[in-house]
Amino acid sequence: MKLKNINIGIAGLGQIGGRLYKEILSKKKDIKIKTGININIIAISAKNIKKRRNFKINKNIFYKNPLKISKHKNIHILFELIGFSDGISKRIVETALKNKKHVITANKALIAKHGDYLSLLAEKNKVNLEFEAAVGGGIPILRTLKDGLSTNKINKVVGILNGTCNYILSEMEFLKDSFTNVLKRAQSLGYAEPRNPKFDLNGQDALSKVKILSALAFNKKISKDNCLMNGIENIELEDIEMANKLDYRIKLLGITEIINNKLFERVHPCLINKNNYIANINGVMNAVILDGMPVGQNVLQGEGAGPGPTSSALMSDLLSILRGNIKYPFGIPSYKRKKINSYNKELYLNSFYLRFEVKDRPGVLSSITKIFAKNKISIKNLIQKPNRKNNKASIIILTHENLEKNFSNLFINLSKNKFILKKPTFIRIEKV
């Protein structure tokens, strides 16, 4: 049997694109054995061809304008590895799909914002839009939802979805080092964006992944509503150490679930009991817990940051296409995906850990507890740590469960207290 030839284009040759480029070139024979297809990279594009890289670029296939790759008549599969939700990334993918080319991307921001529109384009043109690498690094979480658990009713998805944040929180605990120092180390190792790691740290990256998981888990349109989102930027070593003493660990979790037929998506740091499985996922590892019927709980774990895991997921999508698996991007036809109203986050029932730095003088503690009482929030545990040298004290409070709206009012009132020296740190206590 004569072997088929499939031509590939790659837009973006950063850490991920560069690793993929080398991976494809080195594994052509292996891919041929597994699929019976010859693959050839016939077009590549990058912002700067002169940038120093650890591999040679074939200048004969280099395109300064990546849109030309999207329109290239001989290209069958395009990899979009530039990033960002709009601009050139969106135009590349949109153009490629309209020109009946399969698209593979790791761009979670693009899919979270424009996934509904782009999936419809793919369906109309009978091509694939694959994005396994957008969520969970090397964990095949999306394929598990689309294929392995497709007949299950998923009730809840909980996960550590950002390897950068998990690395920082783990290293702070085990090395007893500051947030700033550990962030610098993460940047030097390539786990965090060297110039601007904001989207990792503030929870936006994880929230994009939550929106994609929601769409697949619940067969729904991608939510456009504002969700509950907090990052790890304000967590200090003192919080890590205090959590440890209280038998907790701090993790940034992404959670999506259906409550009273409404969708509740959220990303925020959580205090999790040390005995919990997900509390013991450390370093750049990701882990996702799927709760479904009849399967029960499924746990998937793997590296969530770095070129290696991402490249692995991209190659998985490539082989799926080469084997002729033409699928709906979100598992079912777009017209069957429903819109679900969002749960009112103010009604969310949870408990909190709070830490204040205050002036150490008589009446301070009394004034703070009065604010709690005024907002109908019950204190479960209170710890006071005085610092006699500078006449300051740390106050740590664990609360009983209450409505999110009451906590929101509490934080507003606390910010007005003249004895509190800086904005309080607050972390939700989560039962996973």
The helices-and-strands tally (H runs, E runs) of the chain is 14, 17
Task: Decide if 403 contacts 346 (C-beta within 8 A).
Answer: yes
Long-range contacts of 143-150 (CB under 8 A, 24+ apart): 143/316, 143/320, 144/290, 144/298, 144/300, 145/213, 145/216, 145/217, 145/290, 145/331, 146/216, 146/327, 146/330, 146/331, 149/290, 149/292, 149/295, 149/298, 150/331
d(CA 74, CA 96): 12
Phi, psi of 222 (to 5 degrees): -70, 130
Residue 31: count other Cβ atoms within 10 Å of its Cβ. Answer: 18
Whether 385 is catalytic is no
Buried b (16+ CB within 10 A) or exposed e, 73-90: eebbbbbbbbbeeeebbb
Q: Return the residue matching tokens 């906590």.
A: 407
Cα Rg, the chain, nearest whole Å: 24
Which member of 90, 101, 108, 209 is catalytic? Answer: 209
**d(C-alpha 285, C-alpha 182), whole Å:** 16
Q: What is the set of active-site residues? A: 209
